[in-house]
Amino acid sequence: MNVLWRTLLTIWRAKVMLRRKGAVPPTSVGRIRVRTLPTDIDLLGHMNNGRYGSLFDLGRFDLLIRTGMWDLVEEKGWYAVVASETITFRKSLQLWQRFTIESRLHGHDEKSVYLLHRAVVGGEVYAEMLVRARFLRKGGGIVPLDELFEALHRPDDLPPLEPWIAQWAAASALPSTKSPAPSVWR
């Protein structure tokens, strides 16, 4: 339940920042401060590995709202979904430890945008997650990224993807929702 309250608070704060300071460029690094709570901890006494994704969602919401993308996708009847993600852990976050979630749009390919999220303590990266997300229409179908950038009235000024990210996206992809995907173990 605490992630729900954190989400609502993050959305409220981001909307206040957008009203007060205006939209930030899509290439900005978003930063929000959080603390590891008792409900984030696993039996080993540090942040549960599954909680990172939920907390990194807060960074994604903050960034989407403050860039103005949130209101645009709502207005257009679009929504964002995570297609794949991978996380690397470096150090453990302990109970009550304060840290910063840093989030940045990293680039895109023909269908997806890529974001990086980091858990940072004192300028040091503790964990990093790469996320591949798509924008879909509520009526069905993928929103082409040229349409997204046109609707934002912004040029596509995201940097090109590094080759390893394109390779990761291809290697981690599951079949299309229109293709069969039987669960067969070898």
Query: What is the pLDDT at residue 154?
Result: 67
* pTM for the full predicted model: 0.91
The 78-89 sheet, strands edge to edge: 29-35, 98-108, 113-121, 124-137, 78-89
14-20 mean pLDDT: 97
Phi, psi (degrees; rounded to nearest 5) at 185? -95, 140
Q: Taking each helix axis from N to C terminus, what angle separates 2-21 and 51-66, rounded to the nearest 10 degrees?
A: 20
90-102 mean pLDDT: 97
Dihedral class, residue 23 (left if φ above 0, else alpha if ψ from -120 to 50, else beta): beta
pLDDT of residue 120 exceeding 70: yes
Phi, psi (degrees; rounded to nearest 5) at 42? -100, -175
pLDDT of residue 156 exceeding 80: no
- The Cα–Cα gap between 170 and 22 comes to 36
pLDDT of residue 153 exceeding 90: no
